[in-house]
Amino acid sequence: MKKLAAKLNSSRSDSVTPLKVGVIGCGNISPAYFTYLKNSSKVALVACSDMLPEKAQERAKQFDVESVYTVEEMLESDVDAILNLTIPASHAAVSLAALEHGKHVYTEKPLAISLSDGKKMLELAARKGLVVGSAPDTFMGSGLETARQALLDGAIGRPVAATAFMMGAGPEGWHPNPAFFYAAGGGPMFDMGPYYLTALIQLLGPIARISGSAGSQIPERKVGSGPDAGKPIPVQTPTHYSGTLDFASGVIGTLVTSFDIRGGSTLPWIEIYGTEGTLRLPDPNYFEGEVKLRKVGSEEWTVLPPVFESHGNERGRGLEDMADAISEGRNPRASGLVAYHVLEAMHAFGRSSQEGRHIALESAAELSAALAP
């Protein structure tokens, strides 16, 4: 991982706007990307593929995509970059293959399941002069950008602490094929944790160390809808995580992610506490939402005006920024370096629980350098 930030910052491409992108993986999340990016001036989705050819054909017809390929044909094609929308267990294999074929990569979260695969991706990209980007990019929407501007303006003084809560009953109640949520690389931390961790890191900087507890509090799960309704789901990953994050800046954070909260919760998604007040942030799974400010001495919350307007689904903003980053020779904002730091943080919760100690994040110093102006 040494000097990866410098290597990625120095990588350049002769690709021109719009970046020619091929989509691998045409499942549930793909329509959100196709819908937003079909009108992009920076990215052209020119081809799609899926292990199930009928899915790729369906998306191509639905969104007027020029070409349908097998995965192998996609990797051999003339696209500049791969948008990797496969299931988490396939993220690393598909991304590594794309990089080996000289393609830039933007992947859905998480970057990979294992830290070793995530590191391989960044090292391979650096060697080949390619760029890796990764979801989530929701921090680029009006909600979290408004919060960022409030912090820059000193609205709450110096940030000292933060809390974040992702509390739910699990996806088996609505998802027709939820088993992968409970396999390795799933669970509330790897499924939803990236939204919360990425938002906190983008607003407060890298995490220096983590202490946490993790467990499967309700291990009996059944599919709730679709043709497999009632079928038991093997639970192979923790379903409740709780821990403390010590940021390099000195901010102390608390994060809880859970699929075990069946009665619901009224806890806020994210709050940041400062010497002069508190910011309440919207759900980081979305691009928009209200940001509220409560100053010291006040009993009222003030809704801050958004710095710009977001309009619902904007999944693909990170890929557009990556297209700009490739031509400008810089790190994309939704970079592989940030995604790797998030991946290391997610593993640290489990390691801390198993080993009974704080886990220092090795990528913190490198990310600090990459995020510096």
Give SS3 for 343: helix
pLDDT at res. 257: 98
**Residue range 2-19, pLDDT digits in tens:** 444 444 444 444 445 799
124 shares a domain with 8: yes
State the amino acid at position 87 in one-letter form: I
Within-domain flag for 75: yes
State the amino acid at position 127 in one-letter form: R
**Residue range 95-139, pLDDT digits in tens:** 999 999 999 999 999 999 999 999 999 999 999 999 999 999 999
347 and 360 Cβ atoms separated by less than 8 Å: no
Distance CA 372, CA 350 (A): 29
- The helix or strand, by DSSP H or E, that contains position 276, with its residue range, turns out to be none
We report the CATH number of the domain holding residue 204 as 3.30.360.10
Within-domain flag for 343: no
pLDDT at res. 253: 98
168 shares a domain with 216: yes
124 shares a domain with 185: no
Per-residue pLDDT band at 372 (split at 50, 70, 90): low
113 shares a domain with 56: yes
**Residue range 30-81, pLDDT digits in tens:** 999 999 999 999 999 999 999 999 999 999 999 999 999 999 999 999 999 9
State the amino acid at position 291 in one-letter form: V
Axis crossing angle, helix 336-355 with helix 187-204, rounded to the nearest 10: 120
233 shares a domain with 187: yes
42 and 326 Cβ atoms separated by less than 8 Å: no
Distance CA 309, CA 28 (A): 26
Within-domain flag for 279: no
**Residue range 133-191, pLDDT digits in tens:** 999 999 999 999 999 999 999 999 999 999 999 999 999 998 888 998 999 888 999 99
Cα–Cα distance list, 290 to 137, 281, 287, 316 (Å)? 18, 7, 10, 21
pLDDT at res. 176: 83
323 shares a domain with 248: no
Within-domain flag for 306: no
88 Cβ neighbours under 8 A, 6+ residues apart: 108, 109, 110, 113, 180, 185, 186, 190
Distance CA 196, CA 110 (A): 12
What average pLDDT does this structure show over 229-248? 96
Within-domain flag for 183: yes
Mean per-residue pLDDT over the chain, rounded: 94
pLDDT at res. 1: 55
Within-domain flag for 219: yes
pLDDT at res. 16: 56
Whole-model pTM?
Answer: 0.93
Distance CA 237, CA 271 (A): 27
B/e letters for 151-181, b = 16+ CB within 10 Å, e = fewer, are beeebbeebebbbbbbbbbbbbeebebbbbb
Nearest to 83 by CA among 126, 57, 44: 44
Distance CA 44, CA 299 (A): 49
171 and 73 Cβ atoms separated by less than 8 Å: no
Distance CA 46, CA 23 (A): 8
Q: Which domain holds residue 238?
A: 159-274+348-354
Q: How many domains does the chain have?
A: 2
184 Cβ neighbours under 8 A, 6+ residues apart: 89, 113, 236, 237
We report the CATH number of the domain holding residue 131 as 3.40.50.720
Within-domain flag for 37: yes
293: its two tokens: 């400010």
**Residue range 294-351, pLDDT digits in tens:** 999 999 999 999 999 988 999 999 999 999 999 999 999 999 999 999 999 999 999 9
